[in-house]
Amino acid sequence: MEIIIYGIINSIILSLMSLGFALVYSISRLPNFAHGALYITAGYIVWLLVNKAGLPYLPSILLGLGATGLIGALMYRFIIIRIRGMEISEIIGTYAIGLAIIEGLRWGGLRGMTYTLPVFVQGSMSIGGVTVDYHRLIIVGAGVLTFALLFLFTRYNRIGLALRGIAQDERAAMMLGIDSDMTAIISLAIGSGLAGLAAVLLLPLGNIVVEQGYNVLIFAVAVCIIGGLGSWTGTIVAAFIIGFAQILTETFISSHFVMVVALLAIIVTLLIKPSGIFGKQKELEERV
């Protein structure tokens, strides 16, 4: 029973970590390697608002998400736009921004292990004899709600439809009057906001340390490669594969190999189906 319960929780956590990265790539074909840095930034902003500005928790979260989204949008408007279309430069550029943010936070005082966000609800309950804390159950609920809202947004909202249009065929969408740069700005803002959402949901489980920015990026990239770059469905499926694989590995093999699972899955994916489980990119070349 605990394998099922904690497998689901672990999978939702991984998909929340990856969703922002997947969204930006699927819409703008932009690998945002500053994703992990934005995750930590969001957590730190909320921490500052709660602990230094003395704001209540909920407004701090909303402001933190807004600020992270804004950072993402500004990042595109003033930096990435200049290297748009140059794939290697995009990777190097976003990674450099991420490094600058993370090291800037460290330099600015985010050191040690005592920075943390409070859990939303204290306490735990037993499900089928397995003790689970309320906060993890909230994460599961919030994760499912986020997926549902994103699904509805991209199907029933004009901006969401424009984002999908660009994702499907950028040139055709531009011919219909959709502004490619504006959609990229919006996608970066939403993707960064999703990184922030993951941060406020997941950081209360532990603490805010800059090194986690790198871990989140590694997991996001792993999940997206396995699921197929650009595929949201693939992202969620891959998160569940890795999430359950990690729990099964710890239960039946050894906790020692838990972190290797994701990396091993990348290697297997690249060997068998380089475009990922649901990946469309380069699928044709693979068949040829």
Partner 1 sequence: MKRATICFIVLFSAFVVFPSLSISAEKPIVIGAPLSTAFLYGWDAERGIKLAVDEINTAGGVRVGNTKRPFKVEVIDTRDLEPGVPVSDALLALEKLILDKKADFIIGGPIRSEAALAAMDLLSKYKKLSILTTGALTPLYHKKVEGNYNKYKYCFRNSSHSGVMMVEFMTLLEDLRKAHKFDKAYIMVQDVEHARKGGEFMKKALTEKGWTVIDMKVYPTGTADYSVGLHDSGKKGAQILFLWMDMPESAILLKQWSDMKSKALPVGFVNAAEQPGFWKATGGKGEYLIVNLVNGGNAPAKITPWTMKFVDAYNKKWGLEPEGYGTSSSYMAVYQLKDAIEKAKSVDTDAVITALENVDIMGVYGRMRFDKKSHQIISSMDPKEGAVTGIIQWQKGKRVQVFPASVAEGKILLPPWMK
Q: Which residues bind partner 1 (CB under 8 A)?
A: 2, 6, 9-10, 13, 106, 111-116, 118-119, 122-124, 130-131, 133, 205-207, 209, 211-212, 214-215, 246-247, 250-251, 254-260
The amino acid that residue 253 corresponds to is I
Q: How far is the CB of 185 from partner 1 (least distance, A)?
A: 32
SS3 16: helix
Q: How far is the CB of 257 from partner 1 (least distance, A)?
A: 8
Closest to partner 1 by CB, 167 vs 197, is 197
Q: How far is the CB of 46 from partner 1 (least distance, A)?
A: 15
Q: DSSP string spanning 244-272?
A: HHHHHIIIII-GGGHHHHHHHHHHHHHHH
Q: How far is the CB of 55 from partner 1 (least distance, A)?
A: 18
Q: How far is the CB of 255 from partner 1 (least distance, A)?
A: 4
Closest to partner 1 by CB, 27 vs 261, is 261
Q: Which residues contact 190 (CB under 8 A, 6 or more apart)?
A: 20, 23, 24, 69, 72
Q: Which residues contact 25 (CB under 8 A, 6 or more apart)?
A: 31, 32, 224, 229, 230
Closest to partner 1 by CB, 187 vs 246, is 246
Closest to partner 1 by CB, 13 vs 34, is 13
Rg (CA), the chain: 19
Q: Which residues contact 152 (CB under 8 A, 6 or more apart)?
A: 160
Q: How far is the CB of 144 from partner 1 (least distance, A)?
A: 19
Q: How far is the CB of 48 from partner 1 (least distance, A)?
A: 15
Closest to partner 1 by CB, 89 vs 124, is 124
Closest to partner 1 by CB, 89 vs 131, is 131
Closest to partner 1 by CB, 119 vs 142, is 119
Q: Which residues contact 253 (CB under 8 A, 6 or more apart)?
A: none
Q: Which long-range contacts (CB under 8 A, 24 or more apart) does 149-153 make?
A: 150/19, 150/23, 150/232
Closest to partner 1 by CB, 133 vs 283, is 133
* Separation of alpha carbons 112 and 63, rounded Å: 24
208 contacts 110 by C-beta, under 8 angstroms: yes
List the one residue out of 239, 265, 262 whose CA is nearest residue 17: 239
Count CB neighbours of 248 within 10 A.
13
Q: Which residues contact 151 (CB under 8 A, 6 or more apart)?
A: none
Q: How far is the CB of 80 from partner 1 (least distance, A)?
A: 25
